[in-house]
Amino acid sequence: MIASTEIKTVHKIIIGDSRRMEELEDESVHLVVTSPPYPMIEMWDKLFRMLDERIDKIWTKMEVESSRKLRERYVKEIYNLMHENLAEVWKECYRVLIDGGIACINIGDATRSINGMFRLFPNHSKVIEHCESIGFVTLPYILWKKPTNKPKYKGKGAFLGSGFLPPNAYVTLDCEFILIFRKGEPRKFEPHDPLRYASAYTKEERDRWFTQIWEITGTKQTIEERRVASFPEEIPYRLIRMFSIIGDTVLDPFLGTGTTMKVAIELKRNSIGYEIDETLLPIIKEKVGITQKLLTSDYSVEIFKRRP
């Protein structure tokens, strides 16, 4: 029997665009845990415009267009194109996942006043539509409720006095989605697989984790005055424990600050992370222990930079 303490894991940081994951072979990943840039959330506008010149062109036309009807059409086109770009990554995730592998995608809907109209962009439903058309099986999802969000009035500040008068106030988005998909049939194991048994969760963990609402406080969103959209470690911690076993390989195609990789190291899973923004590398290195030379003989981290 293999003791989980004997497992040595390997972690790869790839600085490159995950719409193509040419470094990864088909069916080489057991679990995807990720959070993409959220379409129609202002902080990601620039990135989507840079990723796809069609988005940039339509956006520029929208800014000078006088017809409201046409501007509305452009908003829809931009929103759809943003999701088409994300879907390129979901397709690659499907390719690299093993049969029975699972993808957990954390995404929030967006609310925004655009063309003078406050509205919802239901990102979670677009991701479900795309993943289903790729071939994923949709499983019951989790609602991540962040206890810190306060109700808003007309999408702006907190509720004011008139916020008590019906009917023009809006419900606050205080939940994000953790969508869960599977490729094909459930995974099969040999009876009494030792690593599977060593990866078991407790009854208390099962009762807390396999419920639909997770109340978890968000994490600090600025590092050295830089805005980052990281999730708290508790999110990948639960998902990796729930949907993989020790020694598996976990992929995060939108690595950001490296939270998924940090947790994968701690949980003795191998991992791969793609990040397009090279300026995040120092933050990732710090999170996974390279900067502070915390590396032990239990794990190694390799960094690859894709040539343009």
Contacts to ligand SAM by CB under 6 A? 17-19, 35-37, 47, 228-231, 254, 256-257, 259, 274-277, 280
| 187 or 274: CB nearest ligand SAM | 274
Question: Is the distance from CB of 239 to CB of 251 less than 8 angstroms?
Answer: no
The CB-nearest residue to ligand SAM is: 256
R_g of the chain computed on alpha carbons: 21
| 172 or 219: CB nearest ligand SAM | 219
Rounded CA separation 154/163 (Å): 9
Taking Cα atoms as reference points, which of 96, 174, 86 lies closest to residue 129? 86
- Min dist CB 102 to ligand SAM, Å, is 17
- Min dist CB 224 to ligand SAM, Å, is 14
| 203 or 227: CB nearest ligand SAM | 227
- Min dist CB 259 to ligand SAM, Å, is 3
3-state secondary structure of 106: strand
- Min dist CB 238 to ligand SAM, Å, is 14
| 87 or 242: CB nearest ligand SAM | 87
- Min dist CB 142 to ligand SAM, Å, is 15
| 36 or 101: CB nearest ligand SAM | 36
Residue 170, both tokens: 């809006």
**What burial class does residue 262 get, using C-beta atoms within 10 Å of its C-beta: 0-12 exposed, 13-18 middle, 19+ buried?**
buried
Residue 236, both tokens: 């990948």
- Min dist CB 58 to ligand SAM, Å, is 19
Counting every residue written for the chain, the total comes to 308
- Min dist CB 184 to ligand SAM, Å, is 25
Which residue carries 């040595």 as its tokens?
Answer: 8
| 43 or 70: CB nearest ligand SAM | 43
Rounded CA separation 267/201 (Å): 12
| 79 or 231: CB nearest ligand SAM | 231
DSSP secondary structure string, 177-223? EEEEEESSSPP---TT-HHHHHTPPPHHHHHHHSSSEEE------EE
Task: Compute the Cα dihedral for 281, 8, 34, 235 and give only its sign.
Answer: negative
